[in-house]
Structure 1
Amino acid sequence: MPRPNDLRYRATTAFQRHVANPLMRRLPFHTLLETTGRVSGLPRRTPLGGKRVGDTFWLVSEFGERSQYVRNIKADPRVRVRIAGRWHTGTAHLLPDDDPVARLRTLPRANSTAVRALGTQLLTVRVDLDG
């Protein structure tokens, strides 16, 4: 019998992949994270929530290392982030020692609430933006 966390993961990722993400990618001012596909080498764009603080962009992955974009970051940490309609290049860092629940309290509320409610393996990600 599947575990509840597995069911939540499969249901959430299916909804995101087939419904939410295609719609969010089209919104010109929604935040996107662009990674390089670890197998294909193609750009992969993921809508997400987070916050820019100076030259750093913070986010929390709801499924940690199970998230495809986190797996892509592990293979190649060079990323781009679209913030308020403008693209920025940077280097992503996975921070397993950071407290993701505390980090979510510093990020936009709507996204943080969804990540906390649906997530099973929270992981903080910091993107150091280039100049």
Structure 2
Amino acid sequence: MTGYRETKFRAVTAFQRRVLNPVLRRVPGQTLLETTGRKSRLPRRTPIGGRRTGNEFWFVSEYGEKSQYVRNIQADPRVRVRLRGRWHAGTAHAVPQDDPRVRLLSLPRFNSAAVRAVGTNLLTFRVDLKE
């Protein structure tokens, strides 16, 4: 990763981790992704933007395999997604053959704009929901 991209990644993730995510986790209608910490085995909740289509939930990670929640998914793909205040169990899968920029056009506009603005290694994910 180039120096600029690494600096951008560190600045954005520090802001998300310390300021934005703690606030968004408390917003009742915010979509959350719950993974299991790969080391701690504790639940980890991350605010995300995405869209449910039938029994699938689609989202794009702005940092791909560098994101902590992506590393957690790689270690244990069983996740939960909170949609409109209700939790849904599922299995998350990276979809590297999907074009994340095209996918973002079908996802919530505000979140998609933020992902495009700060993302450096976009990667599409699909969660197969059990309910």
TM interval, short-chain normalised? over 0.9
Who is 1:25 aligned against? 25
Q: What RMSD over aligned residues (CA atoms) do the two structures have, in Å?
A: 0.7
Distance 2:105 2:30 in 1: 20
Distance 2:7 2:111 in 1: 21
Who is 2:80 aligned against? 80
Who is 1:42 aligned against? 42
Q: Percent identity among equivalent residues?
A: 66
Deviations 1:32-56 (A, max 9, x none): 0000000000000000100001110
Q: Report the count of equivalent residues.
A: 130
- 1:1-131 equivalent positions in 2, closer than 5 A: 3-131=3-131
Give me the TM-score of the superposition, normalised by structure 1.
0.98
Deviations 1:3-61 (A, max 9, x none): 11101100000000000000000011100000000000000000010000111000000
Q: Which runs of 5+ in 1 are unaligned?
A: none
Shift of 1:97: 1.2
Distance 1:97 1:4 in 2: 27
Shift of 1:70: 0.3
Q: Which runs of 5+ in 2 are unaligned?
A: none
Task: For residue 28 of structure 2, give the secondary structure of its aligned residue in structure 1.
Answer: coil
Give me the TM-score of the superposition, normalised by structure 2.
0.98
